[in-house]
Structure 1
Amino acid sequence: METGFTKWIIVITVVMCCLLELIDTSIVNVALTQMMGNLSATQQEVSWVVASYGIANVIVIPMTGFLAEQFGRRNYYLVSVILFTLASIACGQSTNIWELVAFRFVQGIGGGALMATSQAILIDTFPPKQLPLGQALFGMGVIIGPTIGPTLGGFIVDNYDWPWIFYVNVPVGIMASIFTIAFIRDPERIKNAIPRPLREIDWAGIFLLILGVGSLQYVLEQGESNDWFEDNLILFFTALAVIGMVGFVWRELTAEQPIVDLRVLGKSRNLAVGAVLSFVLGFGMFASVFIFPIFTQRILGFSAAQTGLILLPGALASGFMMPVIGKMLQAGVPQKYMIPVGFFIFFVFTFWMAKIISPTAGEDNFFWPLMVRGLGMGLIFLPITTMSLAGLQGKEAGQAAGLTGMIRQLGGSFGVAIVGTVLERSIYQNRVGMLPNISLYNSETVQRVQAFTANFMSKGFSAEQAQQQAYAALEGILMKQVSIITYGQIFSMLGFFFLACLPLVMLIKRARRGEAIDLNAAH
């Protein structure tokens, strides 16, 4: 255990790296349009800038325990920081879209390690009694990172050029590399670990993991833009995902030295429940951050930077709540009671958002609902993490941490994919449902068209042009109303999804007094 100055330097280093990794999952979203213009890319091609990073992330995260054991955790972490930093420079220097996609994949490989390994290093830094505080500091990065991304990205795109969304990583990466060399040390178990010979490595497990999880992530990232199962490529990768995932589960349950030990799920009921709850957490956290910017920018006309600033106070509130929740856990407040409160608070947030969404909503309308969201996320993340890992020892704890991290990431991918699909299809269905109300056989509709036509004619348009403008204005009003209804339905759907998952909390086993989380060798 580290103490004093060294302890807090390590804390700053790993939380900073964790933030970098999570910010980069969302920072590029606001720059895609500029990338399309500068790199002569289509919408379909530029979507790979996001997809390649996510695919690399979700492949690497569950393997971090094995890689840390094989090469030493400090060495693995240092190489990952350097790889992430160099890939960031290469992304900014890209001259065509496929160069950028390739370097984003490399950046995702380094970033996945930062996310998973940072948690283990951070927890090693604290004595057992302060483990909830260590988890709380890690949770600050997990909650705040995806929200800061659009804010920072919007500011950079508005004031500089898109490569700077990657160059901002460089000074932080250099500083983190220096601090890693100077201050981070491996725990004794990893120092004394003997690397597996190459012939004993679970190569089949690695291949099936890449095939299954990588294909699944591709389907989730590209499904909506490719019209899901109407596209042969999506069908092909779905088949690969099923083959890979089934084969991976079978292999890891039967191999003597699996790359990811799935048998640990059978040794702890709380870990199995925590894995499901981690999926739910990722689903709600990423889906809500995904849907809100779309609404504010498409319907209310807010800029990316303006939307990010609206999201920021709630994210910061959640981050600042983490140490408080950590203290509550230290004081013995059971996770079994905190998680349902967090779920219910998240439901209140979604219900509130569904009620206040309107064409005239302003920034002030969203402040308190998003603060409520931040409180709910804080009450969900930390209790789920500590509950999942409680009672596990050494290597098992490392495997469990990597597994729950991967599942949380997949939950986010499922959330974004499902919400995106439901959004587009519900807008179409709601529009069809409202069309009878604006029929030209309806007297109110005719009066509205006549009023619009007269208004446009008074501005110098011909009668024919004025009528066309009137129909366009009516279509605009219709689509705005349809969108308002649809976004309200999406938020309500998210809230009821969380309520439906509440019974899972009944399966949580109360930790025995004095039972601690041993992450001394995690990752």
Structure 2
Amino acid sequence: MTAPALSAPKITVANPGWLTAAIMLATIMQVLDTTIANVALPHMAASLGATQEEITWVLTSYIVASAIATPMTGWVADKVGRRMVFMGAIIGFTLTSVLCGLSLGLPEMILFRVFQGIFGAVLIPLAQAVLLDINPREKVGQAMAIYGAGIMVGPIIGPTLGGYLTEVFNWRYVFFINLPIGIVALLGVMAFMPREEIHHRKFDLFGFSMLAIAMGSLQLMLDRGQSEGWFESVEIWLYLGLTISGMWAFVIHCLDNQDAFVDLKMFRDRNFVMGLVFIFIIGMTLFSGLALLPPLLQKLLGYPVIETGLVMAPRGVGTMVSMILVGRLVARFDARGLVLFGLLVTAASLHVMAGFDTQMGSMPIMVSGVMQGFGLGFVFVPLSTLTYATIETKYRADATAFFSLVRNVGSGVGISVVTAVLSRMTTVNHEEIASTLTASAPELRAALPQLMSNSAYYASIADQLVSQQSAMIAYIDNFILMFVFTLAVVPIVFLLRNPKHHAPKA
């Protein structure tokens, strides 16, 4: 029996495998850069003469610039062609990475990080759009598995690689490492990505400006909320007002104009909208966990930077295994069932994490990491397939841009939520535990009898123990919260359509 013929891809390329490899190198380079610089911030602060609060703008400037530039992907790709955009973005991202590594002061570092965020913003959505177009419909699942590997493994290995480069070489090498990767990716795109027809599309300056104000203000609010005391600060209220007013003006403008920056008709597609809601919540879960584990391991359990990376590495192994499996399974089984399976495995991993304690070894961390990486791989790949399964192909560039934007916003919201919960619950737990511990408490007298001598030294030891347990309980509170978020997204699975029965329009 002969195998059924594959459907024709939208774009035919001579070497799709090599083009995919080049695209994924660029994607990994961009995703890696969102986390690799985090661990080097203290070293940057000392070298650039900045305070710890000022140096956080190295991260904030990149995130805000990326959020503003991401929605531009579809328009720029139509205007000058995907090949030119991809090449320009790789060149710009690589060059600004080198300039970041050469920076001698904070202002120029922030300036180069802004441009790095702008150039990097188009790489991920454009990579996804290209992979969708160069693969027949039957192989889209495998293409999304490759794409998902870059998206999910990058943030996992970023802190480890960043810590290693900073300790062994210098913080500047967390930026210089992009140079060889960028050169190889550029050569691959130049050699294997074909030129395509350019669609002249009018630029809607007002619509873009309103969306840029909304997204930039939202990212600033999420990034600076914790340090500014959230809504106790006038600055945060200003960001919230700009976010709401900018988004309101953008939506009204797009509804009233035929040549608006974004065609809102693409949001009529149920799978696409449900996919956006889904990836928003998964973004909260995925990146929140990655944000919580390094400080838990280093500050609370005393792991050094490199050992922290080694303990977290099995999460990446779980992700890679699931990507290999799901890339083959998604063409044979209902993608919704695979997503549901991945959610349940992810929820189970968070249940394991809710049992962490200060006396545990590294095994529970590695086991839960493998489980979570494996589960999220089963979620991300079929979800990407389902999200674009029924949307019209003319909307793909804009759709992938919004998918990437919503995932990033979800991760920003998730990190802000867990950071606020960690800070608040650590304080609350400390007060509650301390209120039950008096010098006459039998448990305390048995564990630390020296307290009866009214020694300040032993009192400080008791306070450190209380602080440690308070923080551990706060981390557990966050893991339970993420567990609830993961289960809350399960009903959305049943609202997604089976792509086998709803083919996209040309």
The whole-number CA distance in structure 1 between the counterparts of 2:335 and 2:254 is: 30
Aligned to 1:195: 200
Matched to 2:374, the amino acid is L
Deviation at 1:71, TM superposition (A): 1.2
Aligned partners of 1:253 and 1:263 also within 8 Å: no
Aligned to 1:119: 128
Aligned partners of 2:274 and 2:387 also within 8 Å: yes
Q: Does 1:158 align with 2:167?
A: yes
Aligned partners of 2:77 and 2:397 also within 8 Å: no
Aligned to 1:214: 216
The whole-number CA distance in structure 1 between the counterparts of 2:135 and 2:488 is: 36
SS at match of 1:195: coil
Which residue of 12, 26, 29 corresponds with 1:20? 29
Aligned partners of 1:63 and 1:260 also within 8 Å: no
Q: Does 1:354 align with 2:354?
A: yes
Matched to 1:509, the amino acid is R
The whole-number CA distance in structure 1 between the counterparts of 2:330 and 2:445 is: 63
Aligned to 1:317: 318
Aligned to 2:191: 182
Q: Does 1:308 align with 2:309?
A: yes
Q: Does 270-279 or 301-310 show the bigger shift? A: 301-310
SS at match of 1:362: coil
- The two structures have a TM-score, normalised by structure 2, of 0.94
Aligned to 1:439: 438
SS at match of 1:330: coil
SS at match of 1:201: coil
Deviation at 1:43, TM superposition (A): 1.9
Deviation at 1:486, TM superposition (A): 1.4
Q: Does 1:62 align with 2:71?
A: yes
Aligned to 1:406: 405
Aligned to 2:490: 502
Aligned to 1:423: 422
Per-residue Cα deviation, 1:415-446 (whole angstroms, up to 9, x for no partner)? 00100000000000111111122123435435
Aligned to 2:370: 371
Which residue of 147, 150, 153 corresponds with 1:144? 153
Per-residue Cα deviation, 1:345-399 (whole angstroms, up to 9, x for no partner)? 11101110111x1222222232211111011101111111111111222222222
**Structure 1 residues 501 and 394, CA gap change in structure 2 (3 angstroms):** closer
**Structure 1 residues 340 and 509, CA gap change in structure 2 (3 angstroms):** same
Deviation at 1:504, TM superposition (A): 1.9
**Structure 1 residues 277 and 34, CA gap change in structure 2 (3 angstroms):** same
Aligned partners of 2:276 and 2:406 also within 8 Å: yes
The whole-number CA distance in structure 2 between the counterparts of 1:35 and 1:361 is: 33
Q: Does 1:52 align with 2:66?
A: no
Matched to 1:89, the amino acid is V
Aligned to 1:486: 474
Q: Does 398-407 or 166-175 show the bigger shift? A: 398-407
Aligned partners of 2:321 and 2:374 also within 8 Å: no
SS at match of 2:489: helix
Deviation at 1:480, TM superposition (A): 1.0
Aligned partners of 1:141 and 1:319 also within 8 Å: no
Matched to 2:316, the amino acid is A
The whole-number CA distance in structure 1 between the counterparts of 2:128 and 2:460 is: 53
Q: Which ranges in structure 1 are unaligned for 5 or more consecutive residues?
A: 455-463, 519-523
The whole-number CA distance in structure 2 between the counterparts of 1:194 and 1:58 is: 24
The whole-number CA distance in structure 1 between the counterparts of 2:495 and 2:442 is: 58
Matched to 1:17, the amino acid is A
Matched to 2:360, the amino acid is A
The whole-number CA distance in structure 1 between the counterparts of 2:447 and 2:306 is: 36
Per-residue Cα deviation, 1:134-174 (whole angstroms, up to 9, x for no partner)? 11100110110111100100101111111110000011112
Which residue of 79, 83, 94 corresponds with 1:85? 94
Q: Does 390-399 or 269-278 show the bigger shift? A: 390-399
RMSD: 1.9
**Structure 1 residues 431 and 15, CA gap change in structure 2 (3 angstroms):** same
Q: Give 1:382-397 correspondences, 5 Å limit.
A: 382-397=381-396
SS at match of 1:176: helix
Q: Does 118-127 or 322-331 show the bigger shift? A: 118-127
**Structure 1 residues 181 and 29, CA gap change in structure 2 (3 angstroms):** same
The whole-number CA distance in structure 2 between the counterparts of 1:351 and 1:310 is: 19
Aligned to 1:521: none
Aligned partners of 1:314 and 1:373 also within 8 Å: yes
Aligned to 1:253: 255
Matched to 2:94, the amino acid is T
Aligned to 1:223: 225
The whole-number CA distance in structure 2 between the counterparts of 1:283 and 1:241 is: 19
The whole-number CA distance in structure 2 between the counterparts of 1:290 and 1:194 is: 41
Aligned to 1:458: none
Deviation at 1:108, TM superposition (A): 0.7
Aligned to 2:4: none
The whole-number CA distance in structure 1 between the counterparts of 2:211 and 2:134 is: 31
The whole-number CA distance in structure 1 between the counterparts of 2:435 and 2:120 is: 51
Deviation at 1:44, TM superposition (A): 1.6
Aligned to 1:172: 181
The whole-number CA distance in structure 2 between the counterparts of 1:194 and 1:116 is: 18
The whole-number CA distance in structure 2 between the counterparts of 1:164 and 1:396 is: 38
Deviation at 1:514, TM superposition (A): 7.3
Matched to 2:363, the amino acid is D
The whole-number CA distance in structure 2 between the counterparts of 1:269 and 1:117 is: 22
Matched to 1:299, the amino acid is L
Deviation at 1:124, TM superposition (A): 3.0
The whole-number CA distance in structure 2 between the counterparts of 1:448 and 1:517 is: 70
Matched to 1:378, the amino acid is G
Deviation at 1:206, TM superposition (A): 1.1
**Structure 1 residues 405 and 93, CA gap change in structure 2 (3 angstroms):** same
The whole-number CA distance in structure 1 between the counterparts of 2:493 and 2:199 is: 40
Aligned partners of 2:162 and 2:174 also within 8 Å: yes
Per-residue Cα deviation, 1:78-106 (whole angstroms, up to 9, x for no partner)? 11001101110111111111211111111
Aligned to 1:461: none
Deviation at 1:450, TM superposition (A): 4.3
Q: Give 1:448-463 correspondences, 5 Å limit.
A: 450-451=449-450
Q: Does 1:469 align with 2:433?
A: no
Matched to 1:46, the amino acid is I
Identity of aligned residues (%): 29
Aligned to 2:110: 101
Aligned partners of 1:49 and 1:101 also within 8 Å: yes
Deviation at 1:228, TM superposition (A): 0.8
SS at match of 1:359: coil
Q: Does 1:272 align with 2:260?
A: no
Aligned partners of 2:45 and 2:55 also within 8 Å: yes
Deviation at 1:338, TM superposition (A): 1.9
